[in-house]
Structure 1
Amino acid sequence: MHKENDLKVIDVIEGIEGESLPETHIRTQAELARRERLEKTRRERDSLDDLNELAEFETRQSEIFLKDCKNIIRDNLSAGADVNWASLYNDKPYPPFVYKNPAPRYNLVAREKGVPQKRFFSELLFPSVKNARMQKENDAKAAYDLKTKQYEEGKEAGRATHEKERGVYLAGQSAYNSKVEELQLNFEKGDPAAVRSFARIALHGINLPDSINLYFDAAYLPGEKQLVIDCLLPAYYDLPRAVSYSYNKESGALVPAEMGEREYDAFYLDLIRQIALTAINTVINAIPGRLVERVGFNGWVENDKIGNTLETKACVITCDAARDVFAALDLLKCAPADCIRQLGGLTAKSMAGSDTVQPIVSAIPETDEAKRVPDNPEDGPKPPQYQPGEFKNVTKKLMGEMLEQIEKNLLQAARDKDDMVH
């Protein structure tokens, strides 16, 4: 009877743990909402028995997915700007006590006990009839009084349980809000951990198709006022390629019409470029210039050629932008490829994880021109190629202490993805 009142201050999903309690809460809520939408789509799909209708449904889903992928930047222009501290606090009141059990009614009890209606002439002529009726009435009243007592006792017990649960909820709510206040205070002071955590909160608010599940991490360099985003992107071969579906009567199955290799390659490149630009834009919108003047982005994909080590992640896209330079871009009018190129971004020759580009580690300009080349140049030096086993040593030399953080979080992300619904 108290199920709907048994609320939690924060929900928990195994594998999701942020650097702060508010971050954990926001990431968990985002993942729960995504899973709920996916489950709703699955139920709708399972409800269709007619294969022609199912083909139409799958075609609509493909069209929605492709449209959403095409409009990631457009749909997230203000992402990060609406992430304010007030929205992070939990001010949801605990529901009032409502006792759902019905109160006993004498008429129902009398009917259960078989109390007859009063009949004047019969009782006048036959006193035994009157005595029998009165006995049953007394029995019904006793039963009614007992039920009323039990009802009141149950109601008071329910109220006491409700108040106990309410106290636990309010205590948890107060503790959670204290953590939000602590995070806000540390953020205003420029504490690196708080800045990183708030950046991830903003990044996990980016609106994406539900079948795309990203993991964001962040490294903050307070001296340079630079924040570097590390994003675990969807693997090249994991995204759907179908643009439509049709029902083949002969085979009795749905037949997808898929993008060709070149078309899909262009689609995937455009997707990760939009993700990179959207992530940078989100951080710039969410974090003031006094804390962050420069934002970098490293996009990683799985590389399953080797064991469960850092070398299983390949950096396939990087971008680095000063706040004023990025603000000068017209993200709606400028193609993502052109925006990345104007920012001096890099993309790997292969998106499958076999090639890699040098990840961004600081705002200090590179002196070796071979390490930074225009995005997908037709001519010019190629990004460094790493063979299995060499990547960890190279990145250690480049990143130093920052590598430990990236390694730890990216490995955690890999384990998280195994537990999540795709």
Structure 2
Amino acid sequence: MGRKFYYYRIISNDYLGVTKEIKGSTEYEVALKVEEQLRKWETKERAQRQRDAIEDMKSQAEFDSEQAQELIEDYKSILISTLKVDDKLKWEKLKEKKKFKNFHFNEPVPTLQQIMNQLKVPNPRPFVEFLIKSIKLKRIEMEERAQVELDKMLADYENRKAKEQEKYEKDKQEFIKLQNEHNEKIDQFKLEFEQGHGEAIEKYVYMVLEKSKYPEGLDREFEVQYDPISGTVIISFELPSKDVVPSIIQYKYVTTKKTITEVRMKQKEFDAYYEDVLYQICLRTIHEVFEAVYIRDVKSVVYNGWVSGIDSKTGNDFRSCIMSCQAEREAFEKFNLERVDPRECFKGLKGLSAGPLAQLAPVRPVMEIRRDDSRFVESRDVLADINSTTNLATMNWEDFEHLVRELFAKVFSKDGAEVNVTQASRDGGVDAIAFDPDPIKGGKFVIQAKRYNNVVPVSAVRDLYGTLLAEGATKGILVTTSYFGNDSREFAKDKPITLIDGSNLVYMFQEYGHNVTIQLQKKVN
């Protein structure tokens, strides 16, 4: 699919003796995949433990046959199994609700008796002390010393406790701050989604499909894009290959050989079953999008099903789109999916396929996902030639745009984002575009670079805002060698716009180990 994975986690199941590396574009995606894999392994381990407990091989064969039939039924029920599930994202469940731990200071409070024991202060002996006054005076002196020591220890105790309390309160505030920031991002995500922002819709749909639970062995990869002009969600879905879909219908115990053999579906039966599974995945995906996306901005879904494998004739890798269809929301929501024939339903949607799907014959997608942009040009490395004597305010304007692209490539790189430079137009359009794959805080960022020597006019900030809306971007960033006036800052307030003036630009370069200079050139009258 060409997706980049920036996060991974290795998980294992000791009982099954399996280890797997889970990859994803975001930490959230990895967490979802890990949860799903662990769930599948748990089911598999439970079955394996039951199997291990069966001593009789015939019973084991019967048991394995039941498991195989159940798995096939799960695949045959891919569509029906999702119809009673509420596919909408639960916004509140995405939020962090955990309470910070209560304060505990584990040191015991010093006591007078404890200190008296340490100092070996004798207990009162009235009769002896009556006869020998010095013994009584010695005891009283030691008791007073113990009291002084207690006061000192209590003061030290309270001091340590206060420091622990102070650290606890600091940690608690940091915890609450991070929690609030996370929850505010969820609220912002929800707001942008409900307002129909393209990037938010893409993130939402991706998260809905990612949390959808499929049968054991069916790992999924897909891409999502939203076209705001037509209100269309485009999904490119990696379909399971033939060797992934289970085909064993029975485990048979052969008495003469004392072994268990596998009985598989006949080829014709398997091809029909495999085809039905692919049609069901298509309809399920479309259904989950329409059910989950409760705003009416999404009017249709385009589904492209792709298969990858090795061509048995040539030995070469191949990847083909073998099914494609477009479903209009209003019509699709009237379907009774519990009763449809998946193949006929696909045909009713005027779905494209070249003969039986089991033949894996390619078709042209109805509409394709495009992450590229015809405006993008090859980036140039300018940063390497920059030093403290280079005046950014007088450098070539095109070099300045590429320089800004390099800077933001470094800024975004830690989040796995991609930054591209657009064609030189000098028309006030987009100079660079960044794609951040994070489903919560990421999105599409438009970046404009203005190599000015005077105050940036407010019209430049207004133009950026118009471009941001036209691009369906999450945020706009305006970078300049000069400075912004109050009217520009006032306009940008409460909008998803960041203004970076010359001094802040110099500081950003310094953060990444590059000393640069900006000396504004005054116009000579």
TM-score (norm 1): 0.63
1:97 alignment counterpart: 102
Change (3 A) 1:158 1:72: farther
Structure with greater Cα Rg: 2
**Compared with structure 1, are the counterparts of its residues 354 and 185 closer, same or farther at alpha carbon in structure 2 (3 Å cutoff)?**
same
Give the 3 Å change call, closer, same or farther, for CA 322–250 of structure 1 in structure 2: same
Q: Once the 2 structures are TM-superposed, how far is the Cα of residue 102 of structure 1 from its aligned partner?
A: 10
Q: In the alignment, what sits opposite 2:328?
A: 322
Of 173, 190, 200, the residue aligned with 1:194 is 200
Report the secondary structure of 2:327's partner residue. strand
Distance 1:340 1:153, change over 3 A: farther
What is the distance in 2 between the residues matched to 1:162 and 1:270? 58
Q: Secondary structure at the match of 1:209?
A: coil
How far, CA to CA, are the matches of 1:242 and 1:220 in structure 2? 39
**Are the counterparts in 2 of residues 301 and 316 from structure 1 also a CA contact under 8 Å?**
yes
Give the superposed CA RMSD.
5.0
Indicate the residue corresponding to 2:236 in structure 1.
230
Structure 2 gaps of 5+ residues are 1-6, 10-22, 119-153, 374-416, 418-525
Query: Does the alignment pair 1:203 with 2:203?
Result: no
2:45: which partner in 1?
43
Q: Deviations over 1:176-204 (max 9, x none)?
A: 22222222232233222111111111222
For the residue of structure 2 that corresponds to 1:301, the secondary structure is strand
Between structures 1 and 2, the one with greater helix share: 1
Q: Is the 8 A contact 1:296 1:320 kept in 2?
A: yes
Corresponding residue SS for 1:204: helix
CA offset at residue 207 of structure 1?
A: 2.8
Structure 1 residues 154 and 274: alpha-carbon distance in aligned structure 2, compared to 1, 3 A threshold? farther
Structure 1: 5+ residue stretches without partners? 1-11, 19-23, 114-147, 362-398, 410-422
- Structure with greater strand percent: 2
- Quote the offset at 1:47 in angstroms: 3.4
Task: Give the Å deviation of 1:265.
Answer: 1.3
The alpha carbon displacement at 1:403 in A equals 6.3
Query: How far has the Cα of 1:153 moved from its partner?
Result: 10
Residue 190 of structure 2 aligns with which residue? Answer: 184
Judge conservation of contact 1:79–1:206 (CA < 8 Å) in 2: no
Contact 1:233 1:272 in 2 (8 A): yes
Alignment match, 2:25 = 17
The answer on 1:302 being equivalent to 2:308 is: yes
SS of equivalent to 2:200: helix
Q: How does 1:20-419 map to 2 (within 5 A)?
A: 25=28, 27-48=29-50, 49-50=52-53, 55=60, 56-79=62-85, 81-84=87-90, 86-97=91-102, 166-248=172-254, 251=257, 253-288=259-294, 290-305=296-311, 312-349=318-355, 351=357, 355-361=361-367, 402=370, 404=372
For 2:106 and 2:63, the matched residues in 1 are separated by: 44
Alpha-carbon distance in 2 for matches of 1:213, 1:163: 44
Residue pair 1:317, 1:346 contacting (<8 A) in 2 also: yes
Specify the SS of the correspondent of 1:92: coil
Residue 211 of structure 1: how far off its partner (Å): 1.9
Distance 1:37 1:314 in 2: 31
Residue in structure 1 matched with residue 495 of structure 2 by the alignment? none
Match of residue 415 from structure 1? none
Would the alpha carbon gap of residues 188 and 102 (structure 1) be closer, same or farther in structure 2, given more than 3 Å must change?
Answer: same
Deviations 1:108-140 (A, max 9, x none): x9xxx9xxxxxxxxxxxxxxxxxxxxxxxxxxx
Shift in CA distance, 300/167, structure 1 to aligned 2, threshold 3 Å: farther
Equivalent pair of 1:196/1:220 in contact (CA under 8 Å): yes
> Does structure 2 retain, via aligned residues, the 8 Å contact 1:241–1:264?
yes
Residue identity matched to 1:258 = R
Residue by residue, what CA displacement relative to the aligned partner does 1:314-335 show, whole Å, maximum 9, x if unpaired? 1122121111221232211111
Tell me which moved more, 246-255 or 73-82.
246-255
In the TM superposition, what whole-angstrom CA distance separates every residue of 1:81-128 from its partner, at most 9, and x where no partner exists?
A: 5324x3353142235337697979x9xx9xxx9xxxxxxxxxxxxxxx
2:268 and 2:157 map into 1 onto residues whose CA distance is: 72
Q: Please state how far the C-alpha of 1:404 moved relative to its aligned partner.
A: 3.7
Identity %: 23
Please identify, of 336-345 and 70-79, the stretch whose mean Cα deviation from structure 2 is larger.
70-79
Structure-2-length-normalised TM-score: 0.52
Q: Which deviates more, 150-159 or 170-179?
A: 150-159
- Which whole-Å CA distance do the structure 1 matches of 2:163 and 2:255 have between them? 63
Aligned residues: 347
Cα separation, partners in 2 of 1:343 and 1:150, compared to 1, 3 Å: farther
